[in-house]
Structure formats: structure tokens, C-alpha cells
Amino acid sequence: MTIAPTHDRPHARAEVKFVRMSASKVRVVLDLIRGDHVVDAIETLALSPRKAAQDIAKALRSAVANANHNEEIPTEELYVSACYADEGPTLKRFRPRARGRAGRINKRTCHITIEVARMTDEEITRRNARLEAKGAATSSPSANRAARVARSKKDDDAGSENAAATAAVAEEAADEVEEAVADEAVESEVTSTTEDSDADGEVNATDESPYGDGSHALIDGDPDNMPEGFEIKGNDSSKLYHVPGSSFYNRTKAEVWFATAEAAEAAGFELPKSQREDAGEEE
């Protein structure tokens, strides 16, 4: 709640002088409480992480005490009507530097002034009404407890109904999953009887000829499992084939197998360059 400061109301003030802090740092905290009710201002200062909040809180409590004892104004009717910080004397210190020089250090001080004043009757009425409305929401613990118990019972009844409905839905979903698994098992039985050349219970591309007659695909993706009658290794990425006994034959991982060199060359594969040169010299 922000209330415009007026000087025609009963008020009190307090000053804290020669605070070892710059006025600019104190003004940042003073801006947080200006125009607030003193109770709200004290709570704000208590939660502020700035060091200036401690000195400002002391000044605010002193101003409230002055208003209580000198002007006989209750704390509930006070608000921060004015607060400001003036610059105090600067303490000059020096720090040794290179070549006999000295660096100047300014230790600034400030004077903190806080003024509290009484709110108008209309403002006090509005604040009390707001506090009563807020207190009514948290008052009567027995009534609130009864309301919470009744609400929890309703939630339990609704929860049991929801649990039953959820169990029914889960049971239906489980039945659907079992049916789907059964259908997949039937399909797998049908497809597994189409072709299984290596008798491992799985359909694979063993008998497929990716490059026509004379070629053979890998058996179950194993490059070391050589099909019977297909001894030539083919590298699909480089389009090279290697015959048994060649220098690269044992180091090559077959990606396709060929029965004869003619079948490999018909599929677009060729010998490595070094072997082609050796074959030309022999001719």
C-alpha cells in the first residue's frame, strides 16, 4: 500500500548519522519501503539481503518508538511518510603505491532519516477491513478442519470411482495387448514357413542373389560365414572382389559372395589395382 506523504498529520522522525556506507547504497533500500505501512516495511527490511537494511531497520524502529511515546500514535496506524539519505563526511585514507606514490581511498558516510506519520481514518478503515477479510480466511480452525475432512471424503469417494474405472480400462487394454500378441504369433508362424535355408528358425536373405546369378548375400549378416560354392569376397562400397590366396582376402570383410570371378565382374566388381597389374604382367 502506497500513501502519499503529508506534513499536516501527526508524525515522528528518527535519524542515524555517520553510517559507514555510501548514500547511494542506502537509497536503493529506502526506495523499497517509502509509503509502506511500518509493519510491511519491517518485514521487507528483514528479508532484504543488503547490509543497509540493518541500519534502516534500526532507524525505522526508533521512529516508531518516538511516535508511540511522544505522539501517542499506535503502531498499527503508522506508515513511512518520508525516508532519505544525505551524504556525510568522507574519510580519506591512502594506500602505498609504486615509486613512493600513494593511492587515495574515500570511505564515505551518510545520514539516514526516516519519518513516520499517522494514516487517515479512511485509510485505517480500509486496511483493517482488508486484514479482517484475510484473517477470516484463516480463522476458525475447527470449521476449516471440518471442511477439509468433508472435502477429503468427497475426494476419497471420487478416487475410488476413478480407481474402479481405471482398473476396468487397464483390464480392457491388457486383453487387447494379449490379442495383438496372439495375432503376431500367428503371423510369425505363417511367415516362418516360407523359406529358411540355414535351419535357424528365422527367415533371412541367405538364398537371395543381390547381383544376379553367381552372387550370394550374407548368411544372417555374418561376413565370415561363407556360403558353399561361393569363395570370392566382394566389397560393396569399393566394388572390389578378392579371390582366395590374395593379399587382401583374409583382411576383407565380405559384404557379398561370388562363385566365380566372371560373376563378380559381371556385377560391376573388379580386382584391386595391384592384382590387376600383376595379372597383366603374367599375361
CATH value at residue 132 = 3.90.470.10
The yes-or-no verdict on residue 199 having pLDDT over 60 is: no
Check residue 39 and give its pLDDT.
94
Look up residue 152 and give its DSSP letter: H
Q: Given 88, 105, 138, which residue is the final one in a domain?
A: 138
30/121 same-domain check: yes
CB-CB contact of 110 with 22 (8 Å): yes
Which H or E run contains 266? Answer: helix 261-266
The yes-or-no verdict on residue 97 having pLDDT over 90 is: yes
The yes-or-no verdict on residue 108 having pLDDT over 80 is: yes
Q: Around 142, how many Cα atoms within 13 Å sit in the side-chain half-sphere?
A: 0
Confidence of residue 206 (pLDDT cuts 50, 70, 90): very low
Q: What are the beta bridge partners of residue 257?
A: 216, 233
Confirm whether 152 is domain-assigned. Answer: no
Confirm whether 163 is domain-assigned. Answer: no
122/235 same-domain check: no
Which percentage of the chain shows pLDDT scores above 90?
A: 37
What is the total count of domains within the chain? Answer: 2
CB-CB contact of 79 with 119 (8 Å): yes
The yes-or-no verdict on residue 196 having pLDDT over 60 is: no
29/132 same-domain check: yes
Confirm whether 126 is domain-assigned. Answer: yes
Check residue 183 and give its pLDDT.
56
CA distance 242 to 238: 12
In single-letter form, the type of residue at position 134 comes to K
Confirm whether 186 is domain-assigned. Answer: no
Confirm whether 93 is domain-assigned. Answer: yes
17/113 same-domain check: yes
129/232 same-domain check: no
Q: Given 92, 122, 138, which residue is the final one in a domain?
A: 138
Please indicate whether residue 242 or residue 91 has the higher confidence score (pLDDT): 91
19/134 same-domain check: yes
Check residue 178 and give its pLDDT.
66
Q: Given 87, 117, 138, which residue is the final one in a domain?
A: 138
CA distance 199 to 193: 11
Please indicate whether residue 54 or residue 188 has the higher confidence score (pLDDT): 54
Query: Is residue 37 exposed (0-12), middle (13-18) or buried (19+ Cβ within 10 Å)?
Result: buried
> Three-state SS string across 194-216, please?
CCCCCCCCCCCCCCCCCCCCCEE
Confirm whether 151 is domain-assigned. Answer: no
Q: What value does the mean pLDDT of the chain take?
A: 80
Q: Around 11, how many Cα atoms within 13 Å sit in the side-chain half-sphere?
A: 19
Confirm whether 27 is domain-assigned. Answer: yes
Q: Which domain holds residue 269?
A: 215-282
Which percentage of the chain shows pLDDT scores above 70?
A: 75
- When pLDDT is averaged across residues 186-205 and rounded to a whole number, the result is 44
Check residue 238 and give its pLDDT.
82
Q: Among 90, 91, 115, 118, which residue's Cα sits nearest to residue 15? A: 115
Confidence of residue 117 (pLDDT cuts 50, 70, 90): very high
SS3 content of the chain, % helix, strand, coil (to 5): 45, 20, 35
Check residue 26 and give its pLDDT.
96
* Candidate ranges 19-28, 158-167, 191-200; pick with highest mean pLDDT: 19-28
Which H or E run contains 55? Answer: helix 52-70
Please indicate whether residue 252 or residue 109 has the higher confidence score (pLDDT): 109
Confidence of residue 254 (pLDDT cuts 50, 70, 90): confident
Dihedral of the alpha carbons of 47, 52, 56, 59, in degrees to the nearest 10: 140
Q: Among 34, 65, 59, which residue's Cα sits nearest to residue 112? A: 59
Q: What is the reported pTM?
A: 0.46
Confirm whether 29 is domain-assigned. Answer: yes
131/222 same-domain check: no
